[in-house]
Amino acid sequence: MNLKNNQRGMAAGIALTVCLLLLVGSIIFGVWAFTGQQNYKNNTQAIVDKKVKVAQQAIQAKDLADYNEKLKNPYKNYIGPVGAGSINLTYPNTWNAYVDDTGLSGTLVNAYFDPVYIPPLNNQNSVFSLQVQVIAQPYSQVIQNLQSSKKEKTIAYSLPKLPSVVGVYVSGDIGNQKTGYEVVLPLRNYTIEITTYGNNYKSDFDNIILKNFSFIP
């Protein structure tokens, strides 16, 4: 009788132990599952928040770019002296300008443009969003100097408003240890040089400056 009671007691003890182990296991699994779910939820939210932030920044950047483009209109205009081909230059409304067309410097027209401020003209390190010159040198001489200075890339070019006059479009090395883009055109016994330094204003150079530039050959 005692043996049977002992066996029953042991069986009951084992059953209780198994139940306790199952309970503890269930609790541990539940905690693990809950923790994993929370981590997934938090990580997912962090990913969503990051994507939303990136999207918002992209929208803000586009809105700012669109706003800055609208500020450029209506465009400003400069018309040079008759003796210098009456160059007709259109440039963004947000740009500042300094123009010397007196001819006293030996250059018929020396014009500088920049959205912020005009850098010092006598500093060889100064760069400009736009520089336009009508120089007292024949086109053939200027082209010869271009060829000898090993420009990075030079192609034939005509202004959209003046297709009959053929010059060159230079990109890369534009001299004086500077890079950018430059258009060189013949004007009777003179030469017109239209230059932008660097890459920041390449779009304005092509789509506003060159697109609308004209002169009397």
87-105: pLDDT as tens digits: 999 999 999 999 999 988 8
* Region 182-203 average pLDDT: 95
Instruction: Give whole-number Cα distances, 173 to 180, 206, 213, in Å.
Output: 7, 18, 23
64 and 168 in a single domain? The answer is: no
* Region 181-203 average pLDDT: 95
* Residue 86 covered by a domain: yes
- The larger pLDDT score, comparing residue 162 to residue 34, is at 162
97 and 156 in a single domain? The answer is: yes
Which one, of 64, 97, 58, 100, lies nearest residue 80 by Cα? 100
Number of domains forming the structure of the chain:
2
Of the candidates 39, 71, 103, which is a domain's last residue? Answer: 71
Residue 216 has pLDDT above 60, yes or no: yes
99 and 173 in a single domain? The answer is: yes
131 and 188 in a single domain? The answer is: yes
* Residue 217 covered by a domain: no
Give the position of tokens 């296991």: 25
Residue 8 has pLDDT above 80, yes or no: no
Residue 213 has pLDDT above 60, yes or no: yes
CB atoms within 10 A of CB 190: 21
Amino acid 24: pLDDT: 64
Of the candidates 21, 40, 71, which is a domain's last residue? Answer: 71
Amino acid 10: pLDDT: 60
Global pTM value: 0.69
Amino acid 30: pLDDT: 67
Residue 178 has pLDDT above 60, yes or no: yes
131 and 63 in a single domain? The answer is: no
Phi-psi region of 113 (alpha: psi -120 to 50; beta: other; left: phi over 0): beta
Residue 2 has pLDDT above 90, yes or no: no
- CATH number of the domain bearing residue 126: 3.40.1000
36-86: pLDDT as tens digits: 676 666 677 666 666 666 656 655 555 555 555 666 778 999 999 999 999
Amino acid 27: pLDDT: 74
Which one, of 204, 199, 150, lies nearest residue 177 by Cα? 150
Radius of gyration of the chain (CA): 37
186 and 202 in a single domain? The answer is: yes
101 and 202 in a single domain? The answer is: yes
* Region 114-133 average pLDDT: 88
State how far the Cα of 52 lies from the Cα of 50, in Å rounded to an integer.
Answer: 5
* Region 138-144 average pLDDT: 93
* Region 127-156 average pLDDT: 87
Give the position of tokens 């006059």: 165
Of the candidates 71, 96, 111, which is a domain's last residue? Answer: 71
Return mean pLDDT, the chain.
Answer: 82
81 and 141 in a single domain? The answer is: yes
35 and 56 in a single domain? The answer is: yes
Q: Which domain holds residue 24?
A: 1-71
